[in-house]
Amino acid sequence: MAKISLKGYIIVPDSALEAVNAELPFHIESTRKESGCLVFNVTQDNQHRNRFNVYEEFVDRAAFDHHQSRAGESKWAKVTSEVERHYEISSED
């Protein structure tokens, strides 16, 4: 079983910033409750208000894929539909 990590950032347009900030706490809480989630952090950058730094760890690919599926059907997916995503995904044994 290989742990899956995702790190990177998203760039949120001004038009979506209020909605993203309003939904983010629920998205974080929901993800941290998922089976297989080890770490899930999304934080607004101190220097650039439109940038949110992202770091995630899941126990394996199945847990990561479940998260992607759940999040893709959530309100978070709707409010972040216009963000730019810049991620690196890696696995380690």
Tokens of 47: 């220097």
Average pLDDT, the chain: 96
Q: Is pTM, for the whole model, over 0.75?
A: yes
SS3 assignment, position 65: helix
Q: Can you give the residue range of the structural domain that contains 80?
A: 3-92
pLDDT at 37 over 90: yes
Q: What is the number of structural domains in the chain?
A: 1
- The answer to whether 60 touches 73, Cβ cutoff 8 Å, is no
pLDDT at 11 over 80: yes
How far is 22 from 29, CA to CA, in rounded Å?
Answer: 13
Band of residue 92 on the pLDDT scale cut at 50, 70, 90: confident
pLDDT at 15 over 90: yes
- CATH code for the domain of 63: 3.30.70.100
Tokens of 66: 């479940």
- For the stretch 46-86, pLDDT in tens is 999 999 999 999 999 999 999 999 999 999 999 999 999 99
33-69 burial, b at 16+ Cβ within 10 Å, e below that, comes to: eeebbeebebeeeeeeebbbebebbbeeeebbebbee
Q: Determine the pLDDT at residue 51.
A: 98
